[in-house]
Chain A
Amino acid sequence: MNIPSELKYVKSHEWLNYLEPDRVRIGISDFAQKAMGDIVFINLPQVGDPATAGEPLCDVESVKSVEDIFSPVSGEITAINEKLLDHPELINADPYDAWIVEVSEVTATEEILSAKEYEAFCEQEG
């Protein structure tokens, strides 16, 4: 299970990469992409949409099912990774490179875990 130490994580299996203190990139972890299987569509939100901590950010279609991606933070969506529209499989191939959205003016956050804490949480989840 790949869990880069420089990133932060939440229990719903999203990762956070703080580009600036109040600007963060969000993606899903290796654990999440493995659980989903082959991803074939991602329904990205729009730039300007609000993000709310703990609420769905967007949904992702794998061959077998649809899953919500939850926002770990509240704020405004200031960028989306448009490459994923035509190449959603990048999320499976490199989940830590395939960021999904950037959220700025971050106000609230969910419980943030370090890489070690997230690893322990995943082991528990089995």
Chain B
Amino acid sequence: MEKQTALYQRHVAAGGKMVPFAGYLLPVQYQTGIIAEHMAVRKTCGLFDVSHMGELIFEGPDSLANLNQLLTNDYTNMDIGRVRYGLMCYENGGVVDDLLVYKMLADKYFVVVNAANRAKDVAWIKEHLFGEVDFADISDDISQIALQGPFCEEIIAKLTSDIPQKYYRFIDNAKIDGIEAIVSKTGYTGEKGYEIYIGNADAQAVWDKLMAAGGEYGLIPCGLGARDTLRLEAGMPLYGHEMDETVTPLETGLDFVVKLEKDFIGRDVLLAAGPPKRKRVGLKVLGRGIIREDQDIYFNDALIGKSTSGTYCPYLDGAYAMALINVGSVDLGDTVAADVRGRKVEAQVVKLPFYHNV
């Protein structure tokens, strides 16, 4: 039985097509449709209910030590009010989850994890906690709304002056028209945007205020469908696709958040493995059709890997995919072929990201 977020009634009232996702009922799209919602985020602004995401707290003198042991990135030397991306690995270097760490206080961190992995993450973390640290899963108390697109600053400025100025910064105890919130300048769309965390009781009010403030800018609510086409167009990885327990952060090209000089769970295996033998590439579909996930990729009739995600990208008006392929098998500009339900669809190896605006 799926759960509802605090915004469920808003989605239904707005004509949202509700689907089960990570244990919640969320809109895959509204009457506007995925393409229009995607384009709104690129051209004006879109509003997303992302309350299904998980939020965890680490508090106490050993919080930092625990985070550094669990995660690939180094969380030392972080100012309060900063956000830092990282991954959590198994001993064998495969990925448990990717997540964001928000430094709230000297000894307090707010960690945002993928909805689908929340239970798994909590169990893994609890198994590995040490020293003086209090760990809590507060996801059920927190709602999250993402405001993404070129007019996000104008819209949020009508409701608050507690606006983080730089990317990957946040303001705690922000007041959105009097309502307490965490406002971070982060997002999963490749556009400027904010992610706003509030208590469940305040979610509808904040949603309504943002919708009202955004009306003149063309703000529309957007669903999971557009969330996926946007992140893919921006070349952003999604757990369960570009990485999972069988893929290391290095293979998926996230080495910029893997600090091998620091000790963390999985580090020894990553070091011993040496340079990765697989890598993530971008594919621009040349033929007719869409390359989606889990499709075999061939170069000169040799199987070189598999696609991990793919869809039609509305802003670029074309189909794009990401694939995990053998290192050295192809160069940028090479033409590969994907097996799409028995048909050969050609694609060109291109740089990632396909689109960016932040």
Contacts and interface: CB of A to CB of B under 8 A. Distances in A.
Contacts of B312: 40-41, 61, 63
Interface size class of A (residues with CB under 8 A): 10 to 19
B28 A43 contact: no
Contacts of B341: 59, 66
A31 B175 CA distance: 44
B289 A64 contact: no
A63 B289 contact: no
A63 B292 CA distance: 10
Interface string A1-45: 000000000000000000000000000000000000110110100
Contacts, number: 36
**Interface on chain A toward B: helix, strand, loop, or mixed SS?**
strand
A45 to B, nearest CB: 13
Given A63-B225, A66-B341, A37 B33 contact: yes
Interface string A61-82: 1011010000000000000000
Interface string B26-38: 0011000111000
B144 interface: no
Query: Which DSSP category, helix, strand, loop or mixed, fits chain B's interface?
Result: mixed
B28 A40 contact: no
A85 to B, nearest CB: 8
A41 B290 contact: yes
Contacts of A61: 289-290, 312
A59 B28 CA distance: 22
B288 interface: yes
B288 A43 contact: yes
Interface string B137-165: 00000000000000000000000000000
A2 B121 CA distance: 47
Interface string B308-338: 0001101000010000000000000000000
Given A38-B34, A40-B312, A63-B312, 5 more contacts: A37-B225, A38-B35, A43-B288, A61-B290, A66-B292
Interface of B: 28-29, 33-35, 225, 229, 288-290, 292, 311-312, 314, 319, 341
Q: Which 5 pairs, one residue from A and one from B, show the smallest C-beta to C-beta distance?
A: A40-B312, A38-B35, A63-B34, A38-B33, A61-B290
